[in-house]
Amino acid sequence: MKILAFIANGTEDSELVNTISLLKRAKIDNYLVSVEDREVMCSHGLKVKADAKLSDLSLKALRDYDGIFIPGGSRGVAAFKNTESLLELIRMYALRAKPIMAICAGPQVLAKAGIMEGVNFTCYDTCEEEITMGIYHKEKGAIRDKNIITSRSAAYSFDFAYEIIEYLKGKEAVELVKKQILLEV
């Protein structure tokens, strides 16, 4: 199982790293794709090198992954929202009911792609103002509605990852990951 994890300059470090680290523990790998340069500077100074730049890949090559992950970070999210090929890929995954996951400001990218109509979601405070088609749940740290999983912020990145793992691999996989990181279950 392998997901596409997108990055850009300004991507929120902990949302990216916490999520993909926990997913890897559950045997969900990632292919890190940048919408900008091959190496990006995250919002708090972490340098991350992508496996590839989106502009170097065809949509056909990307259609067969198991899901899409969009981290937050306002500057990174702005770059994602201005990348039409990413928006097109999100639409393609939505049509196929493949998992689409976004945290913090990331759900704004899903709204820009036009896939949030009637979807229950959560996001960083005030970001919901840009997501007028969905049903906002401020009280939720992470929420799944069909194939779309959203989360509020970096503080909820573990809850977000657990929701993804449960959806893709089941509750037993979540319990195993929690045991690995010494979280009481």
pLDDT one-digit tens code per residue, 146-180? 999 999 999 999 999 999 999 999 999 999 999 99
pLDDT one-digit tens code per residue, 5-38? 999 999 999 999 999 999 999 999 999 999 999 9
68 is a domain residue: yes
Rg of the chain taking only CA atoms, in angstroms: 15
184 is a domain residue: no
In terms of Cα–Cα distance, which of 40, 28, 36 is closest to 4? 28
Q: The domain containing residue 59 runs over which residues?
A: 2-179
145 is a domain residue: yes
142 is a domain residue: yes
Q: How far is CA 9 from CA 76, 129, 141, in A?
A: 5, 23, 25
79 is a domain residue: yes
pLDDT one-digit tens code per residue, 34-51? 999 999 999 999 999 999
Q: Using CA atoms, how far apart are residues 159 and 37, in angstroms rounded to an integer?
A: 30
The count of domains in the chain is 1
What is the predicted pLDDT for the residue at 31?
96
162 is a domain residue: yes
121 is a domain residue: yes
pLDDT one-digit tens code per residue, 60-92? 889 889 999 999 999 999 999 999 999 999 999
Q: Using CA atoms, how far apart are residues 150 and 105, in angstroms rounded to an integer?
A: 10
What is the predicted pLDDT for the residue at 185?
59
* CATH number of the domain where residue 8 is located: 3.40.50.880
